[in-house]
Chains A and B, each alone.
Chain A
């Protein structure tokens, strides 16, 4: 169920329309690059199967979100400018994280409303948005015969309005049994530095999410935001009773074949 109260999706620059063969840059968030490389690999395979011409600008580092969310905008500004310099040549910048995409598209202008930053900021697009809205793909030919619960990260859902996109993609996966998460719209408690600045509250929210995952009966928790999953997964793994529940990024599910 998407929200009856639509928030206000940040403007996205979709014009001129995507042309087949046009270079598409990929932005792999720093924690994903280092801890979950297989997600980026899955995304590359899915997009290349659709004939997308992918480029990975090797000078890329981070979107600046950790410092920004902690209030250190002056420290995040050079990182944001570095991002915009690296990605300036590209019309399409695809990122497999709702949260990092929201940082680029929604929060870059808070820190630096300059023309150079605005131009790049609006071109950053979340992976499932790119598949559904730009490529018009809802079926990636995937097959995943398992019970799956979906967790939609709050930043993607509320700042970008990304909700229907991952749901549509999941629906077309063969053999997949969808398990509705009770209280799906409630935050998992990660919240970036919130998770270590107010760990008690963050963990209490994570525990509720864990209980709801167990209640849903899912074997896998899938999300477009692996930062939430790092937190939820860490909690699931800590508890012997929930250790069997695995977590995957949406791209890994869409890339799976029997």
Chain B
């Protein structure tokens, strides 16, 4: 998907074009293999830690507390930060957050911005907003840098350029940066480093996300492996942190637990290479923290759905998901792909727009099995399916409701059941004589044979056997 269109405009499924989710692309074969490998690898590493399952449970409970006490924790974080000269801002939606970033940039006369990896800025589509205002954004995370050069969207939460091979990156660098072609990892990272170094020094502002916002100590926690987030946040005179309000955790004592879970579930590391704890601006520099709501408080109205706000964006559910492995991140149409995207997107952009996403799952449960904060993703999906067919959404279909009402009537007793099953058996027998299979029947027979209809049912066998035995 090109990044010229906004996320929502480019979202195929949101425009009733289901190709992405219906028809997987063979070009994602590498993606599937990489996900499968990471998933198995990370699970084995995590399972080797004694008490890992208890960690997951503990993290779940802490997140539950945090979401239930967001109001208090936000105020606590703000007062801690303000006391150290940090400006803390609250944005109701992406547009408000973008205005804040632009105001800050203009105030400091910023020409270019270096960015650490941040999904919240993807929600804001900050790069477009900056470009439109004549400010040049430069992604500094290697994966994000590749994706930005290719003018694409991140395909994965943690590894945005997972679909690129080294050879493809080499060609991209050759074309966009005029560098000699190479498919060597070391050579490619050296090229990226050379080009990015100058950008850090020239940038008037650094923008980053935030992995955890700790309330009691007033700490912004950013983890990374490349050193780029450290350079983006510390080099320019101004640092703007963008963070979703759900990223709060109550106490700094809990941080090691979450660092462990996030690194192990995200990349299979014990800890990431760098962990930055930012408490305030360096001397002579400015630090801003922008909290973004963008639909998150709407989720609080549905207590069944609170769990979706526990997510720490590790990407484990994406790697584990057989659907994600085949359709890739863009098919989900918005910022957050995979199983957690199918849960978060309907909440954040509205079920009326994204009501189809919860149906992009076989409900196999692989996502719920791996989630480090124990979000019950499969059950969140069935809950959202219920909401999607009962609220205004693309899945709310009077015809389908009528079908299920008829089905419920037919399943209301053994006679009606017998009648309905007679019709089904007849239909399946006749299907092979039809030149063309409509609707759901066609969807089945597109790649699968129908079952053979046997001469008798189980219940007729049971009755016959019992009457022969002289039993009722």
From residue A219, how far is it (CB to closest CB) to chain B in Å? 19
Q: CB-CB contacts of B128-172 with A at 8 A, as 1s and 0s? A: 000000000000000000000000000000000000000000000
Question: Is B449's beta carbon under 8 Å from chain A?
Answer: yes
Given A107-B382, A199-B446, A78 contacting B322 (CB threshold 8 A): no
0/1 interface trace, chain A 10-44, chain B, CB 8 Å (1 if under): 00000000000000000010101111111111001
In contact, A203 and B361 (Cβ under 8 angstroms) = no
Q: Is A76 an interface residue (CB 8 A)?
A: yes
| A interface residues, tally (CB under 8 Å) | 76
Closest A-chain residue to B26, C-beta based?
A204
- Given known A-B contacts A187-B366, A235-B447, A198 and B21 have beta carbons under 8 A apart: yes
Kindly state whether residue A50 has any CB partner on chain B within 8 Å: no
Min CB distance, B418 to chain A, in Å? 9
Which B44-103 residues sit within 8 Å CB-CB of chain A? 44, 46-47, 53
Structural contact, A200 and B369, CB atoms closer than 8 A: no
A66 to B298: give the CA distance in the assembly, Å: 30
Measured in the bound complex, the distance between the Cα atoms of B459 and A33 in whole Å is 7
Q: Which residues from chain A contact B388 at a C-beta distance below 8 Å?
A: 71
Contact mask for chain B residues 314-332; partner A; CB cutoff 8 A; 1 contact, 0 none: 0000000011001100000
Within 8 A of B (CB), among A39-92: 39-41, 44, 56, 58-62, 64, 66-76, 78-79, 82
Q: Is A100 an interface residue (CB 8 A)?
A: no
Number of interface residues of B (CB under 8 A): 73
Interface residue? B124 (CB, 8 A): no
One of B252-260, B271-279, B397-405 at the interface:
B397-405
B365: Cβ under 8 A from any A Cβ: yes
Among A3, A61, A159, A204, which residue has its beta carbon within 8 angstroms of that of B417?
A61
Q: How far is A159 from B21 in the complex, measured between Cα atoms in Å?
A: 25
Q: Is the CB of B24 within 8 A of A204?
A: yes
The answer to whether B359 touches A198 (Cβ under 8 A) is yes
A201 touches B327 (CB 8 A): yes
Looking across the interface, which residue of chain A has its beta carbon closest to that of B441?
A196
A72 neighbours in B (Cβ, 8 Å):
389, 400-401, 404
Cα of A78 to Cα of B450 in the assembled complex, Å: 29
B14-33: CB near A (< 8 Å → 1, else 0) gives 00001001111000000000
Task: Give Cα A72–Cα B417 distance, bound, in whole angstroms.
Answer: 19
Contact of A191 among B361, B386, B395, B456 (CB under 8 A): B361
With known contacts A32-B458, A186-B322, A202–B382 Cβ distance under 8 A: no
Contact A154 B366 (CB under 8 A): yes
Q: Tell yes or no: A249 within 8 A of B by CB.
A: no
B412 at the binding interface (Cβ < 8 Å): yes
Of all chain B residues, the one with the shortest Cβ separation from A58 is: B414
Q: Is A206 an interface residue (CB 8 A)?
A: yes
Measured between C-beta atoms, what is the minimum distance from A122 to chain B in Å? 17
Contact present for B326 and A205 (CB under 8 Å): yes
Specify which chain A residues have a CB less than 8 angstroms from the CB of B405 in the assembled complex: 75
B43 adjacent to chain A (CB < 8 Å)? yes
A199-B21 Cα distance, complex, nearest whole Å: 9
Q: Is B36 an interface residue (CB 8 A)?
A: yes
Report if A175 contacts B (CB, 8 A): no
- With A64-B411, A69-B382 already in contact, the answer to whether A200 and B362 are too (CB < 8 A) is no
B454 close to A (CB within 8 Å): yes
B359 to chain A, nearest CB (A): 6
The residues in A between 188 and 231 inclusive whose CB is less than 8 angstroms from any CB of B are 189-192, 194-208, 230-231
Partner of A71, one of B18, B389, B428, B444: B389
Known A-B contacts A61-B414, A68-B382; the reply to A238 vs B366 at CB < 8 A is no
Known: A30-B421, A158-B364, A158-B368. A201 touches B22 (CB 8 A): yes
Nearest-neighbor residue (CB-CB) of B417 within chain A = A61
Partner of B411, one of A3, A62, A196, A201: A62
Chain B residues near A136 (CB-CB < 8 A): none
Q: Are B363 and A69 in contact (CB under 8 A)?
A: yes
Interchain CB contact (< 8 A) of B386 among A38, A59, A71: A71
Q: What chain B residues lie within 8 Å of A70 (beta carbons)?
A: 385, 389, 400, 404
Cα distance A86–B359 when bound, in Å?
A: 31
Give min CB distance, A97 to chain B, whole Å. 12
Most central of A35, A79, A157 by chain B CB within 10 Å? A35
* Residues of chain B lying within 8 A (CB to CB) of residue A235: 447-448
**CA of A171 to CA of B370 in the docked complex: distance in angstroms?**
28
Asked whether A201 lies within 8 Å of B323 as measured between CB atoms, the reply is: yes
A76 cross-chain contacts in B, Cβ below 8 A: 404, 408
Given A34-B424, A61-B417: A201 touches B326 (CB 8 Å cut-off): yes
Q: Is the CB of A5 within 8 A of B440?
A: no
Q: Which of B360, B413, B456 contacts A37 (CB 8 A)?
A: B456
Asked if A237 is at the interface of the complex by the 8 Å CB criterion, the answer is: yes
Cα A6 to Cα B53 with chains together (Å):
8
**B461: interface (CB < 8 Å):** yes
B369 touches A158 (CB 8 A): yes
Cβ of A180: which chain B residues have Cβ within 8 Å of it? none
Q: Which residues of B have CB within 8 Å of A123?
A: none
Closest A residue to B385 using CB positions: A71
Residue pairs across A and B with Cβ atoms less than 8 A apart, 5 shown, are A4-B47, A7-B368, A41-B458, A70-B404, A186-B322
6 closest A-B pairs (Cβ-Cβ)? A191-B362, A234-B448, A4-B47, A187-B364, A71-B385, A158-B365
